[in-house]
Amino acid sequence: MNHHLECIGCGAHYSSSEVLYACRSCGDLLEVRYDYESLRESVDTSLWKARPLSVWRYEELLPLDRGSVKVSLGEGGTSLHRSIRLTESLGLKRMHVKNEGENPTGSFKDRGMTLGVSKAVEIGAEKVACASTGNTSASLAAYAARAGLECIVVIPSGKVALGKLAQAVVYGARVVQLEGNFDDALRAVVELAQSEIGLYLLNSINPYRLEGQKTLAYEVCDQLGGRVPDTVIVPVGNAGNISAIWKGFQDLNQLGLISDLPRMIGIQAEGASPIAEAFRRGLSRIDPVPNPETVATAIRIGSPASWKKALRAVRSSNGLIETVADREILEAQKLLARLEGIFVEPASAASIAGLKKLVEVGAVSSEEEVVCVTTGHGLKDPEIVERICEKPITVNADQNLIKRALGLNR
């Protein structure tokens, strides 16, 4: 076994065979650590090149036993769109959109779930569970179905976008809507996992899930022909993804496969921004937001579980965490759709809105090569479009009326 679990607080080590979601001695978050010396010898990038661009292209860097079943739906391998029209409109020279909405269930969560659910099968779990603002539950439900496992999801009532709820239900998950917000749902499901034998928790406090999500960094480097972007911008909610992506770049660096590291920039919605606030004030702790509120329901989180990993990622990469207003998020959603043909959900548009704001204040320069991660597909939350776009025109089937309505009859 070339990996173990390590506490990010006190450094305690645990065997990879333990099912643990927090350090037993200090309660802090865990991460998967490798023996990089032995990996340096076993990783052969020519093997990677022979495989399709996907999460499993990098299987030597994923903590699943050889011979274990891979529960896969074809995740990863998402496009890195060179976004020329958007780049020009923002006054930049080179920017790309890594569109995670192209994943099988329409969000980046699939990268984590292919590994997390494979792990669940490997350890003989019978049930999997998560709390979710929607995408995690949609993804877990799909991968659980694929693996033949029972799936339980706990979501905040009334605040999950319809498309995501539909996904969880159709894949056969047992859905519990909780009176309360995501933070309450996470607390409830963690407690459930502690008392229910055979139930494997797949929120991002499970360090294996983040190992799947780190592959986004590997793909970006491959898609840029081995180049490392100067800056990577990621929407932040529970803060697992930015931590995972940073770990991916660090892995490549430790293995000697890249020599530079990008700046990691996280974007939170103004009404749910405890990490940005801690960053702004130079604090090493967050003050949870008791009643988080934002139109970007995916990142409507007041007490992010992985805040410490996220602060570490931005501080050690010389990056930052910024906030954007709901209005800026919705404007960016429309801008991306109309300039690039990429339809993302509001939380995803936070990365674009954040970039726009940071260029305007000079915190990102026009010389930087930027990758914005858009995390989920726009069709997950179609109702929001009614709020940002004009309504379709209704007319009788008469050419003159159609032309007049379209302004074509001059």
Shorter beta-carbon distance to ligand F0G: residue 134 or 262: 134
Strand (E) positions, 157-262? Answer: 174-178, 199-201, 231-235
State the minimum distance, in angstroms, from the CB of residue 353 to ligand F0G.
13
Nearest-5° Cα angle at 332, 330 to 334: 75
Shorter beta-carbon distance to ligand F0G: residue 204 or 323: 204
- 193 near 204, Cβ under 8 Å? no
Task: Show Cβ contacts of residue 24 under 8 Å, excluding neighbours closer than 6 positions.
Answer: 12, 14
State the minimum distance, in angstroms, from the CB of residue 176 to ligand F0G.
14
Kindly state the tokens that stand for 152: 């339980």
Q: Which amino acid is at 299?
A: I
Shorter beta-carbon distance to ligand F0G: residue 43 or 210: 210
- 358 near 91, Cβ under 8 Å? no
Q: Where do contacts with ligand F0G occur on this chain (CB under 6 A)? A: 107, 132-136, 204, 235-241, 298-299, 345, 347-348, 375-376
Q: How many angstroms separate the CA atoms of 320 and 323, rounded?
A: 10
State the minimum distance, in angstroms, from the CB of residue 108 to ligand F0G.
7
State the minimum distance, in angstroms, from the CB of residue 86 to ligand F0G.
19
Shorter beta-carbon distance to ligand F0G: residue 99 or 132: 132
Shorter beta-carbon distance to ligand F0G: residue 229 or 292: 292
Task: Show Cβ contacts of residue 175 under 8 Å, excluding neighbours closer than 6 positions.
Answer: 137, 153, 155, 165, 168, 169
Shorter beta-carbon distance to ligand F0G: residue 84 or 166: 166
State the minimum distance, in angstroms, from the CB of residue 270 to ligand F0G.
15
Among residues 325, 329, 279, 340, the alpha carbon closest in space to that of 304 is found at 279
- 310 near 239, Cβ under 8 Å? yes
Q: How many angstroms separate the CA atoms of 80 and 100, rounded?
A: 9
Strand (E) positions, 179-224? Answer: 199-201
State the minimum distance, in angstroms, from the CB of residue 259 to ligand F0G.
27
Shorter beta-carbon distance to ligand F0G: residue 158 or 362: 158
State the minimum distance, in angstroms, from the CB of residue 139 to ligand F0G.
8
Q: How many angstroms separate the CA atoms of 376 and 138, rounded?
A: 11
State the minimum distance, in angstroms, from the CB of residue 363 to ligand F0G.
20
State the minimum distance, in angstroms, from the CB of residue 124 to ligand F0G.
25
Count, in order, helices (H) and strands (E) of the chain. 16, 13
State the minimum distance, in angstroms, from the CB of residue 198 to ligand F0G.
23
For every residue of 216-240, DSSP letters joined together read HHHHHHHHTTTPPPSEEEEE-SSSH
Looking at residue 59, the DSSP 8-state letter turns out to be G
Shorter beta-carbon distance to ligand F0G: residue 261 or 321: 321
Unique residue bearing structure tokens 């898609």:
223
The dihedral through the CA atoms of 213, 214, 219, 220 has a sign that is: positive
Q: How many angstroms separate the CA atoms of 309 and 20, rounded?
A: 17
Shorter beta-carbon distance to ligand F0G: residue 207 or 376: 376
State the minimum distance, in angstroms, from the CB of residue 51 to ligand F0G.
26
Looking at residue 408, the DSSP 8-state letter turns out to be -
Shorter beta-carbon distance to ligand F0G: residue 134 or 354: 134
Residues in the chain, how many? 410
Shorter beta-carbon distance to ligand F0G: residue 255 or 325: 325
